[in-house]
């Protein structure tokens, strides 16, 4: 019903992803997808343009009600419409959260490797990041609970990313209960970036950490957006859910002078996404899951030296290239030799120089082409 095998040409569309590299490089780095937006969203945006005024915007009650209903239906999490604070993105949201509650010198726990703007956020507010790596086993990623519990006693905030970028790890209810209990014991603020939560594979549940119990919600700022799933990140709209009134007031105070009203078209697009594009999301999820598995098969067939744990969510693959024994980073190697623009592992933290992140939110044939380019480059290498 929806055609994810055909991708519109994105050159000359002001796309960040497609502007960074020369035209002969296939870009697979920043986290947006190459799929045309759901027809329901395009129609809603067109309809809005029939009215010729694009003034400052506030969210309609219908959007708040839609989010409340979706959270209840999908995650059995009950919130009220006033708990939602609209934002020009999730990144401003986690920065505002830190600014709202912490004072310079305090520590923020982060699980590495990590999406760069989260790694950088503490530094913007004079805070110190405390990094605890995720552990990797044969089956994939997981928590080092002892290290986490020990570090949490020092941290004033836990900046959680669930589903996790870049590994695609989806925290289990048990993981989250452990984290929540440790944060309760240490009286730590939880800032939970759940931007990838609508793209969880294999029928696995996503559990918002704040949904575990009202007392956990009280210490949590949850951040969500339709942007990743529905491919509308250029509309710059996200939202925080903060059930505790004092915490919400502090968060709103932190926006002062920097984060004002939200993008009008982003609000329209978000409502259309959640209200009208559910079947599109489900079709996309199937396509991405098949892409994920296709990538696994192609890597196994052509480049078995790359270690790959299939992600449990979203469209990002975290590839360990250390066994390839390249003389430069895999990012530099594949850029030069395969004309492939991957995301460099070192961006996600020190010690990840031998990794790259590959965005498989593209057509299957593009994905096949990418792995073939990598395999050909490896087969040609002399001294790289
Ligand atoms: C985990 C995570 N959080 C936040 C963002 C950015 O969100 P926004 O564009 O809404 O600021 C991204 C984008 O890749 C992301 O992966």
The pairs formed by 299-306 with CB atoms below 8 angstroms and a separation of 24 or more are 299/371, 302/371, 302/372, 302/374, 302/375, 303/371, 303/374, 303/375, 303/378
Domain identity same for 272 and 360? no
Query: How high is the pLDDT of residue 382?
Result: 65
Domain identity same for 263 and 303? no
List the CATH number of the domain containing 329.
3.90.1150.10
Average pLDDT, the chain: 97
User: pLDDT tens for residues 292-327?
Assistant: 999 999 999 999 999 999 999 999 999 999 999 999
Span from the CA of 97 to the centroid of ligand 1 (angstroms): 15
What distance lies between CA 79 and its chain's CA centroid?
22
Residue that is last in its domain, among 256, 276, 296? 276
Domain identity same for 249 and 348? no
Query: How high is the pLDDT of residue 383?
Result: 57
Domain identity same for 241 and 351? no
Query: How high is the pLDDT of residue 384?
Result: 60
Query: How high is the pLDDT of residue 311?
Result: 98
Domain identity same for 301 and 186? no
Domain identity same for 267 and 297? no
* Ligand 1 surroundings by CB, under 6 angstroms: 31, 89-91, 115, 161, 165, 193, 195, 225, 227, 233, 238
Cβ–Cβ under 8 Å, residues 267 and 60: yes
* Structural domains of the chain, count: 2
Domain contains 120: yes
Q: Which residues does the chain have with pLDDT short of 70?
A: 382-384
Domain contains 5: no
Pocket-testing residue among 233, 239, 267, ligand 1, by greatest number of atoms within 8 A of Cβ: 233
Span from the CA of 106 to the centroid of ligand 1 (angstroms): 24
- Would you give the DSSP letter of residue 261? S
Distances (CA, A) of 376 to 246, 381, 384: 57, 9, 13
Interior angle at CA 370, CA 297 and CA 11, nearest 5: 140
Question: What are the structure tokens assigned to 292, written together?
Answer: 């994920």
How far is Cα 203 from Cα 307, in angstroms, rounded to an integer? 24
Span from the CA of 51 to the centroid of ligand 1 (angstroms): 30
Span from the CA of 39 to the centroid of ligand 1 (angstroms): 23
Where in the sequence is the domain holding 282, given as residue range(s)? 16-37+278-383
CA-wise closest residue to 142 among 177, 172, 108: 172
Pocket-testing residue among 32, 165, 223, 273, ligand 1, by greatest number of atoms within 8 A of Cβ: 165
Pocket-testing residue among 112, 116, 117, ligand 1, by greatest number of atoms within 8 A of Cβ: 117
């Amino acid at each position: 019903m929806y055609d994810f095998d055909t991708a519109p040409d994105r050159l000359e569309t002001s796309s960040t992803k497609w502007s960074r590299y020369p035209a002969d490089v296939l870009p697979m780095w920043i986290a947006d997808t190459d799929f045309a937006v759901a027809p329901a969203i395009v129609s809603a945006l067109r309809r809005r343009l029939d009215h010729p005024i694009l003034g400052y915007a506030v969210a309609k009650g219908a959007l708040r009600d839609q989010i409340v209903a979706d959270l209840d239906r999908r995650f059995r999490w009950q919130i009220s419409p006033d708990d939602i604070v609209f934002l020009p993105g999730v990144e401003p949201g986690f920065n505002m959260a830190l600014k709202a509650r912490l004072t310079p010198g305090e520590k923020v726990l982060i699980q590495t490797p990590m999406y760069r703007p989260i790694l950088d956020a503490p530094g913007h507010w004079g805070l110190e990041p405390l990094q605890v790596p995720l552990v990797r086993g044969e089956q994939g990623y997981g928590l080092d609970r002892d290290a986490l519990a020990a570090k949490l006693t020092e941290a004033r905030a836990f900046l959680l990313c669930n589903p996790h970028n870049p590994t695609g790890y989806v925290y289990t209810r048990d993981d989250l209960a452990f984290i929540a209990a440790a944060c309760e014991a240490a009286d730590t603020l939880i800032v939970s970036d759940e931007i990838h939560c609508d793209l969880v594979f294999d029928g696995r549940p996503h559990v918002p950490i704040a949904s575990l119990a009202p007392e956990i919600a009280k210490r949590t700022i949850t951040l969500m957006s339709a942007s990743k799933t529905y491919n509308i990140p250029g509309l710059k709209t996200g939202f925080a859910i903060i059930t505790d009134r004092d915490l919400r007031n502090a968060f709103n105070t932190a926006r002062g002078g920097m984060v004002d009203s939200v993008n009008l078209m982003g609000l329209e697009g978000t409502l259309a996404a959640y209200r009208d594009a559910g079947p599109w999301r489900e079709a996309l999820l199937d396509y991405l899951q098949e892409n994920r598995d296709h990538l696994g098969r192609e890597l196994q067939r052509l480049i078995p030296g790359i270690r790959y744990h299939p992600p449990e969510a979203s469209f990002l693959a975290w590839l360990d290239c250390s066994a390839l024994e390249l003389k430069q980073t895999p990012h530099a190697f594949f850029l030069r030799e395969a004309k492939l623009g991957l995301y460099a592992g070192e961006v996600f933290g020190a010690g990840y120089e031998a990794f790259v992140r590959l965005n498989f939110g593209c057509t299957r044939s593009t994905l096949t082409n990418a792995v073939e380019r990598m395999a050909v480059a490896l087969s040609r290498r002399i001294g790289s």
